[in-house]
Structure 1
Amino acid sequence: MRITACEVDEANQWARADLTITNRSGKASNYVVQVEFVDASGTRLGEALAAANKVAPGQKVETAAQGLDRITTEVTCRITDVTRLAS
């Protein structure tokens, strides 16, 4: 699990984290990833979820966690939780 980009869209002021999910298990799996957006002081400004279904063993998929909170400052994205279920 890796964050590949983290930014706030200038037009709508929503934060977004682009993610790469790699299935390192031996079974096809579904993933739900929770991401938080924090400011420079570490204050949480918002959160978002991303999902990927039926990811084959060894497969990498690209997805995004799109926040819906209005944010007017630069953010850092952090993965706070990952749920993996065999599909």
Structure 2
Amino acid sequence: MDATTSWPSAELLITNRSSKTSNYIVNVEFVDASGKRLGEAFTATNNLAPRQQAEETAQGLDSINVKIKCRVTEVTRYAS
């Protein structure tokens, strides 16, 4: 979470487990301890070779001032 803006973020490691160079879009949601959804974000990476990994950040744009958990809600992969 950014100390200045209180915007949440999720650090992700995207791994291409397919046999083709691929593009990925990863959606995440930020939830409180009760599971209530407080925000969302996404990140993408392109031209990821087979077995290659990419470190990406999904940056939320809503100020959140409570402890949160991040959940991956959807991953879209398509060949480059």
TM-score band by shorter chain is over 0.9
CA–CA separation in structure 2 for the residues paired with 1:65 and 1:55: 17
How many corresponding residue pairs? Answer: 80
| More strand, by proportion | 1
The TM-score, its normalising length taken from structure 1, stands at 0.90
RMSD of Structure 2 on Structure 1 (CA): 0.5
Which segments of 5 or more consecutive residues in structure 2 lack a partner in the other structure? none
Which letter does structure 2 place at the counterpart of 1:70? S
The TM-score, its normalising length taken from structure 2, stands at 0.98
Alignment of 1:48-63 (within 5 A): 48-63=41-56
CA deviation after TM superposition for structure 1 residue 66, in Å: 0.1
Sequence identity (%): 59
Which residue matches 1:41?
34
CA–CA separation in structure 2 for the residues paired with 1:38 and 1:16: 12
Runs of 4+ in 1 over 6 A off after TM superposition: none
